[in-house]
A and B are shown apart, each in its own frame.
Chain A
Amino acid sequence: MPAYEISINGRSRRVDVEADTPLLWVIRDTLGLCGTKFGCGVGACGACTVLLDGQAQRTCILPIAALGATSRITTIEGLAGDGHSHAVQRAWSELDVPQCGYCQSGQIMAAVALLRELPKPTPQDVRRRMTNLCRCGTYQRIHAAVLRAAELSRPGGPA
């Protein structure tokens, strides 16, 4: 069985899994980071979203063999830096977004990626580009929280 060296949340980890193992199950079952969720297995819902080199990646459909040798993975557990919550997490907290909470790790990672690409999204940008599903229907608060996170991240913006 092949061994893979992956960089996740700033640490290097070696995993022995089959080449076709989706990154999701490596993260959850092999590495025990359960904040990243299984929702559909076909890349349709986004519950399994992590950052792969800063981009949102749905991991249930990404075989580990497809990872680049230098790829850096960030999961929800690695989002906060130096004990400080990420601006997106602060906005999520301020707006009390989650209900059941199951999809929220993926939503937050998708929002981080969106704001990295578009630091000042319009309300329409957020509507179009936040495509993760939420069965509780927290979309209205997610929408507001992404815009709020953009404010919180702005240099000189609200603390």
Chain B
Amino acid sequence: MRPCCGRPNCRGPAGRPDVTDTNRRDILKGAAALGAVLTLPVRLEAAARGPAGDQPALNAFIRLPATGGAVFQCPYAEMGQGIYTGVAQILADELDIPFEHIRVEHAPTAEAYRLLEFAPGVPKIRVTGGSFSTRSCYAALRAAAASARRMLVQAAAAQWGVPEADCVAELGVVRHPATARHTAYAALTARAAALPVAEPILKPANQLRYIGKPMKRLDTGAKINGSAQFGIDTRVPGMVYAAVKHCPVFGGEALSFDDSILSSSRHILAVEKIPGGIAVVADSFHRAKKALADVKVAWSDSPLAGFSSTEFAERLRARLDEAGETAESIGDAPAALAGAARSLSADYQLPFLAHATMEPPNCTADVSADRAEIWIGNQMVDLVVALVQGATGLPAERIIVHTPFLGGGFGRRVAFTDQVIPAVLLSKKLAKPVKLIFTREEDIQHDFYRPMTAVKLRAGFDAQRAPVAWHFTIAGDGPGRNGNPGFVGKLDESVFGGLNKQPYALAHKRVDYVYEPIPIPVGYWRSVENSGNAFCKECFIDEMAAAAGLDEVQFRRNLLADAPRFLAVLERVAGLSNWRSARYSAPDGSIRALGVALHEAFGSIVGEVAEVSIKEGAAVVHRVWAVVDCGSVVNPAQIEVQLQSAIVFGLSAALRGEIVIEKGAVRQGNFTDYPIVGMSDMPVVEVAIIESGAPLGGIGEAGTPPIAPAVVNALAKLTGSRIRSLPLSTHHLVTI
């Protein structure tokens, strides 16, 4: 039997929903009736026809098998963020079926699942990222499910010869209370699917059973008994294994290699060049990896052979006095700074970072002359198809991509060219299915890195020490240009975002961007530019508070009078943490301090307070209080754990995360020298949620940006000096 996509009933290629023979139904014809509820145009295609003998789909998202329950097609990949559970809550509520009867699958490639519109007129795309999953599909899924529910009711009403309005749908059954008749959804599906698409009538909030509740995850069972399928678990009959080694120096290629290993072992099937390196294919991964280590390779010269991250950091800092391009200008910050009674200036610096997902990058490809089948945990399935098209010349409908569970994403799994292309080429060449796996060292040394940046922050105060202006200049480069060549060097929010559009009320604000191209691969890393820029901005706010002679919370409060959502988050986190500006002694004898930070990203506002002490020259983070205003809530339990997760992710970077490049090559190679936070240094994280009623915000990333500045702001009170670069492991800390 074919391996599956992590879906218990995956039928592999034979049962792949047919997306070419579609019956397109555009619910936009009823858009007027949807009012403000449906904010995204959504096509309810009957795209998931299902295998023979099964029931027709009600629309692109919902299929009700004859055996009962429901199968939902989720547009987004499950990478730990809980989206399968979230979409199940949304669909179960509006369809009105029991939550536990739902199975969620990763939807096939089809236009119906492209829900993200970044700009008017730009084709919509499908990407699991940007903390967009829930926000981008919430309205569409509610509408789709409400429409399907109505069609089921209409089918029952027609069958019984009664008015639709006299029937009710509840937990998988349509009832006609007046005559006590009832029919299960499964028995109505065929008739309902033949009806015209119904205009959805959404349930009132007080009738929602699941949305807003801490429902348990649908994938927990499979993830605690070993049955959950990740890409790396793919097994295809006749499959062979590839190990890869890229040129240690970025930009290099294999010129030649010694393939004598081929003749010395019957287990070794191929030694091949791949873009930027070589691959060994064998009948087991261990054999491929071991043989690869013995292959002598002559690497080409690379223009990056002299690249040093230390020197690059200096180059960035040297450009911070340049004018650059202006990303934001409110009032006249340069003039206000020139006329300020008192001013402040500080330079901050952030390192390169790797993602280090627990599941190393991998891809399985089975390519023949007329079709290609790919298994890869990915955040952008349509791009996988496009890459395979480019590499094989096959039409899209001959390419099948399975997206199993992702063993972490964090932005690493939008960048998969380095896995898909060699796997496809090797499979094509050998005419066998090939599973290609990166070792951890390949992953750390050939990632798409969170960019290094340098930021100069300047502030001016009036004679009463009230802040009147700031002027930030950032030098660097960002992932916004990836796959977007015309964009290079332009005003790139993936570099300066999180410095502009700030809620603090100053009369004069300016943000400038100096473009300094980064020659190594850069990528999207959980919270992207916010991860670094919140550190610079929120630490600098504390520096400004000190210059103003004010408590850090009070200083922020003074500037947030016109930003009530920010103010509410700040007050709540200050209250939860029993905020005090002065350091104190803890019962264990340690001297501790609190640090605060506040940042908006992905539509959510997060405030964090960290309680920190210093032990043996290093920071110890004891507790973190985090408050999020994400507008409204689908699953509070998942918000809590996503905040904890985002905080641990940011804490690993703040404490120890650094990719150092010397002579064009990454020095780190595994968790031993690119360490991440473990259980023993995990703080207790307490989370509170504010439902302000603002538009739904993202949750997967918004917790990351404030943790580094909160910790560093606390440290400033312990060390008496200001740390302006990360990671903290590069500083020897002493409590004075």
Residues of A within 8 A of B (CB): 17-18, 20-22, 25, 29-30, 32-42, 44-45, 47, 75-77, 79-80, 85, 89, 92-93, 96-105, 108, 126-128, 130-143
CB–CB A77/B220 < 8 A: no
Given contacts A102-B408, A140-B684, 9 further A-B contacts (CB under 8 A): A21-B284, A35-B228, A38-B437, A42-B671, A92-B220, A93-B221, A93-B224, A100-B358, A100-B407
Other-chain contact of B682, A33, A35, A139 (Cβ < 8 Å): A139
Complex partner residue of B225 from A41, A80, A140, CB under 8 angstroms: A80
| Residues 56-87 of chain B, each 1 if its beta carbon lies under 8 Å from chain A, else 0 | 00000000000000000000000111100000
Please judge, given known A-B contacts A44-B671, A97-B224, A98-B220, whether A37 and B80 are in contact too, CB under 8 Å: no
Chain A residues with Cβ below 8 Å from B225 are 35, 76-77, 79-80, 85, 89
Closest to B646 in A: A137
From known contacts A131-B680, A133-B676, A137-B682, infer whether A102 and B407 are also in contact, taking CB-CB under 8 Å. yes
Is the Cβ of A32 less than 8 Å from the Cβ of B645? no
CA distance A139 to B641 in the complex (A): 10
Residues in B whose Cβ lies below 8 Å from that of A17? 284, 286
Which single member of B359, B360, B645 contacts A99 (CB below 8 Å)? B645
Specify the chain A residue showing the minimal Cβ separation from B435. Answer: A29
Most buried by B among A36, A75, A138, A140: A140
Q: Is the CB of A100 within 8 A of B672?
A: no
A37–B670 touching, CB < 8 Å: no
Expressed in whole angstroms, the Cα–Cα distance for A136 and B640 within the complex equals 13
Contact pick for A143, options B217, B648, B679, CB 8 Å:
B679
**Which listed residue, A20, A130, A133, touches B358 by the CB 8 Å rule?**
A133
Q: Which residues on the A side are within 8 Å of B230 (C-beta)?
A: 37, 101-102
- Can you give 20 contacting A-B residue pairs, CB < 8 Å? A18-B286, A25-B284, A25-B285, A29-B284, A29-B286, A41-B670, A42-B670, A44-B671, A93-B221, A96-B637, A98-B220, A100-B405, A101-B219, A101-B223, A101-B407, A105-B224, A132-B678, A136-B358, A137-B682, A141-B641
- Give Cα A36–Cα B233 distance, bound, in whole angstroms: 10
Q: Which range holds the interface residue count of chain B?
A: 35 or more
Instruction: Say yes or no: A127-B220 contact (C-beta < 8 A), given A37-B359, A77-B225.
Output: no
B228 proximity list for chain A (CB < 8 A): 35, 101
Shortest Cβ-Cβ A-B pairs, 6 listed = A35-B226, A137-B648, A102-B407, A100-B80, A101-B223, A99-B80
Whole-angstrom distance between the Cβ of A62 and the nearest chain B Cβ:
12
B241 at interface (Cβ–Cβ under 8 A)?
yes
Give chain B nearest CB distance to A154 CB in angstroms: 20
A44 contacts across to B, CB distance below 8 A: 670-672
In contact, B679 and A127 (Cβ under 8 angstroms): yes
On chain B, the residues within 8 Å of A136 by CB distance are 80, 358, 408, 645, 648
Q: Do B358 and A76 touch (CB < 8 A)? A: no
| Known contacts A89-B224, A100-B405, A139-B679; is-contact A134 B358 (Cβ 8 Å) | yes
Contact, CB under 8 Å: A98 / B224: yes
> Is B153 close to A, CB under 8 A?
no
Tell me the B248-264 residues at the A interface (CB within 8 Å). none
Question: Within the complex, what minimum Cβ distance (angstroms) separates A158 from chain B?
Answer: 18
Given the known inter-chain contacts A96-B217, A100-B80, A131-B680, please indicate yes or no for A137 contacting B407, CB distance below 8 A.
no
Chain B residue numbers with a CB within 8 Å of A133 are 358, 671, 676, 678
A14 to chain B, nearest CB (A): 16
User: Bound state CA distance, A139 and B439, in angstroms?
Assistant: 25
Give bound CA distance, A147 to B286, whole Å: 37
Once the chains bind, are B408 and A29 in contact (CB under 8 Å)? no
Which A residues lie within 8 Å of B570 (CB)?
none
Contact, CB under 8 Å: B226 / A77: yes
A131 B678 Cβ-Cβ under 8 A: yes
Give every chain B residue within 8 A of A79 (Cβ-Cβ).
225
> Of B82, B233, B358, B437, which contacts A47 at CB under 8 A?
B358
Q: Who on chain A is nearest to B227 by CB?
A: A35
Question: B235 and A102: CB pair below 8 A?
Answer: no
Q: B14 CB to closest chain A CB, in angstroms?
A: 22
Which residue of A is nearest B234, CB measured?
A34
Complex partner residue of B440 from A32, A42, A77, A98, CB under 8 angstroms? A42
Partner of A29, one of B285, B682, B685: B285
State whether A128 and B226 are in contact (beta carbons under 8 Å apart), knowing that A17-B284, A137-B645 are contacts in the complex: no
Q: Is the CB of B671 within 8 A of A25?
A: no
Most buried by A among B216, B222, B358, B685: B358
Given A44-B672, A101-B223, the answer on whether A139 and B408 have CB atoms closer than 8 Å is: no
Q: Is the CB of A30 within 8 A of B216?
A: no
CB B341 to nearest CB in A, in angstroms, measures 45
B281-329 contacts to A (CB < 8 Å):
284-287, 290
> Is the C-beta of B540 less than 8 angstroms from some C-beta in chain A?
no
Q: Are the CB atoms of A40 and B679 closer together than 8 Å?
A: no
Q: Bound complex: CA of A29 vs CA of B219, how far in Å?
A: 24
- A97 contact set on B, CB distance < 8 A: 220, 224
Contact A21 B645 (CB under 8 A): no
CA distance A127 to B557 in the complex (A): 37
Given the known interface contacts A35-B227, A137-B647, the answer about A22 and B286 at a Cβ–Cβ threshold of 8 Å is: yes
**A135 in complex: contacting residue of B649, B680, B685, CB < 8 Å:** B649
CB-based nearest A residue for B284: A29
**C-alpha gap A34/B290 in the complex (Å):** 21
Residues 385-435 of B contacting A (Cβ, < 8 Å): 405-410
Interface residues of B in 662-681 (CB under 8 A from A): 670-672, 676-680
Report the minimum CB–CB distance from A84 to chain B (whole Å): 12
Q: How far is the CA of A141 from the CA of B646 in the complex (A)?
A: 14
Structural contact, A98 and B223, CB atoms closer than 8 A: yes
The residue that B217 contacts in the complex, of A98, A132, A135, with Cβ under 8 A, is A98
Quick one: which of B226, B439, B440, B676 has the most chain A CB within 10 A?
A: B226
Contact of B226 among A22, A75, A132, A143 (CB under 8 A): A75
Q: Cβ of B80: which chain A residues have Cβ within 8 Å of it?
A: 98-101, 136
